[in-house]
Amino acid sequence: MALVEQVEQSGEGRRRLRLANPATLAPLGEIEVGAAADVHAAVERARKAQLGWADLSFEERGRYLQRVVRVILERHDEIVATISSETGKPPTEALATEVMTACDALHFYAKRARRILGERRVPLHLMLTKKLRVIYKPLGVVGIITPWNFPFVLALNPVAQALMAGNAIVLKPSEATPFSARLVEELFSAAGLPEGVLNVVLGDGETGAALVEADVDKIVFTGSVATGRRVAEACGRQLVPCTLELGGKDPMIVCADADLERAARGAVYGAFANSGQVCTSTERVYVVDEVADRFTQLCVDATSELRQGSTGEFDVGAIIWPQQLDTIEAHVADALQRGATLLTGGRRNPNEAGFYYEPTILTNVSHEMRVMRDETFGPLLPIMRVPDEAAALRYANDSRYGLNANVWTRNKHKGAEMARAIESGCVVVNDCMVTYAVTEAPFGGVKESGIGRVNGEMGLRGYCHAQSIVIDRFGGRSELFWYPYTRRKLGMMKRMLRLMWGTSLGRWLS
């Protein structure tokens, strides 16, 4: 049984998908795939509701978000159960990485939107006869398309930001995890959000593609590189702005002076949390030669303590669907065929009914192997021994991805210097994967890992047009640059040019 199966079309020719829990394969229910007409109807509802929503003050909008926090606190067990049942992740992970992060995002943006998006007066350095005001206007209707790996927070967080900026939303969640997104809609509805401001359309890639073409004002996409490229092409053709939060192949660098116990535990968490299905999972490790044996042994020891399962206390959950298992198996097979050594794991877990792959550590890996080049999105920890830190940096940057990275050293100054040398949107020193949860941090990738940034001030402003309003202060009949263009005026401008940028006084003044 696959996790998502297409069942017969309904009377009106609509496709339906049947979903199952990836941990137990127990049925979860069915959804109807939203067609282009459903998407257009949702955009129209959003368009109508947006004007009224944008008229509210930041405080009024913030009160809705604060109410959602209260609803989450009341219903957190149900939310955790929904997330776990459709992803197979441990409840502790669902609570820590989705529910708590969601509450923080709601509270953070509700409290700070006025400071970040409020009208500002900007003092001018040169045109002293003018005044400048910058205002952040909502874009209108924002289309948000989300993946399955964090189905609750990756839907709720962009929704919270887009709403605080005054937009209405059409959200299209992953077909693998529709119920968490439906819950997001319910929570906002329970908080009294005006009808039409947040619209969820369930469905698969076809529904997502329809949303991209539905005349929205921005697409906020989180998902794979392949789909992101298609979304960007469609947005480019229509000149619709988009942010793309895509895949990663995050490197971990272990220096000789690292706290090896902490680094090994960090590697095991970074590689196996959410069964390795995190865009910022640690996907490849470079450890300097002199500590490689000890570090690797500590990783193996920490991995042996992990409990994989679906009930009671467990640490590592399921893989979302069979095609993901196939990718993981293909990467491991490629590595073993090219000479890698398997230290632990390396197979589907035979004791579980659902889709499980055992936490796997590989050594003697080389940079040609798929485990070091392509995003695996599974519980794999390939460890490569390198002669020194410079080599580690070279390998870390030898990738078409650049989302996140982590560096481990007791010398924090060196850690920050090495972080600067890594080509990625985010780097963590002596921890891993934490960047998305640091709400102030602009989050996003370079190279194929994405375009644009989400979260923090920069992310919130991404849901707005910045409009500059320049106001003349003194009036008068004419301005220096206006007609007529006389010889006298030309001479005066030349003297101004030399004074302003050709003398130290002018440079200081300007």
Query: CA distances (Å), 336 to each of 331, 343, 363, 498, in order?
Result: 9, 11, 10, 69
Q: Sign of the C-alpha dihedral, residues 369, 373, 376, 382?
A: positive
- Shortest distance (Å) from residue 171 CB to ligand NAD: 10
Q: Which residue's CB is nearer to ligand NAD, number 51 or number 96?
A: 96
Query: Residue 316, SS3?
Result: strand
Residue 251 is a binding residue for ligand NAD (CB under 6 A): no
* Terminal Cα-to-Cα distance of the chain (whole angstroms): 69
Using CB under 6 A, pick the residue from 175, 217, 358, 448 that binds ligand NAD: 175
Residues within window 193-232 making contact with ligand NAD, judged by CB under 6 A? 204-205, 208-209, 212, 222-224, 227, 230-231
Residue 146 makes CB contacts below 8 A (sequence gap 6+) with 154, 155, 158, 171, 172, 173, 174, 181, 222, 223
Residue 149 is a binding residue for ligand NAD (CB under 6 A): yes
Residue 118 backbone class (left: φ over 0; alpha: ψ -120 to 50; beta: rest): beta
Nearest to 425 by CA among 405, 439, 395, 399: 405
Residues within window 8-47 making contact with ligand NAD, judged by CB under 6 A? none
279 is catalytic: yes
Residue 108 is a binding residue for ligand NAD (CB under 6 A): no
- Shortest distance (Å) from residue 172 CB to ligand NAD: 6
Alpha helices (H) along 343-455: 370-373, 389-397, 412-421
Nearest to 318 by CA among 348, 342, 283, 343: 348
299 is catalytic: no
Closest CB to ligand NAD belongs to which residue? 208
Residue 374 is a binding residue for ligand NAD (CB under 6 A): no
| Candidates 86, 93, 175, 245; catalytic one | 245
Using CB under 6 A, pick the residue from 138, 196, 247, 270 that binds ligand NAD: 247
Residues within window 393-422 making contact with ligand NAD, judged by CB under 6 A? 403
Written as six digits, the tokens of 284 are 């490849």
| Candidates 103, 255, 279, 464; catalytic one | 279
The binding track of 267-286 with respect to ligand NAD, each residue x by CB under 6 A or -, is ------------x-------
- Shortest distance (Å) from residue 200 CB to ligand NAD: 12
Residue 145 is a binding residue for ligand NAD (CB under 6 A): yes
- CB crowding 310-331: b at 16 or more within 10 Å, else e: beeeebbbbbbbeebbebbeeb
Residue 155 is a binding residue for ligand NAD (CB under 6 A): no
Active site residues: 245, 279
Binding site for ligand NAD (CB under 6 A): 145-149, 154, 172-175, 204-205, 208-209, 212, 222-224, 227, 230-231, 245-248, 279, 375, 377, 403, 445, 450
